[in-house]
Amino acid sequence: MEYFKNCILKHYIDFKGRARRKEYWSFVLFAVIIIILVGIVAGVLDNVLGLSGTLTAALVTIVDLGLILPSISVLVRRLHDIGKSGWWFWVSLIPVVGGIILLVFMFLDSQPGSNAYGSNPKGK
């Protein structure tokens, strides 16, 4: 839990440095769990209050907006870890192919040693 807390809170909107695969995928898991939990709780409240999805849509949108900057920052730091510029983020705008390219990048191992973005977070 300490590692998870340090990664999310310490680097909330830090676009410099490098992020290991573990940090990136831990953040993705955290974000997905939060969105699902908020959706479930809001959905139950919608049913109880008879709001037909209004509360769910509003709360999930607020959570999504709150996660935009941290999501982009951890993605940029992950790209730095494999030796790519953060500008590679924009490849995601290419329909279908761009998302696949970024997904493949997120699974690549860290670039060994230091690179232009800092020392290897694995310590190797």
- DSSP-assigned beta bridge partners for residue 118: 115
Tell me whether residue 123 is in a domain: no
Tell me whether residue 124 is in a domain: no
Number of separate domains in the chain = 1
Per-residue pLDDT for 17 more than 70?
yes
Per-residue pLDDT for 2 more than 70?
no
Tell me the whole-structure pTM to 2 decimals: 0.85
Tell me whether residue 29 is in a domain: yes
Per-residue pLDDT for 3 more than 80?
no
Tell me whether residue 28 is in a domain: yes
Which residues constitute the domain of residue 24? 2-107
Tell me whether residue 115 is in a domain: no
pLDDT of residue 49: 86
**Average pLDDT, rounded, for the chain:** 88
**C-alpha triplet 36, 95, 58: angle, nearest 5°:** 30
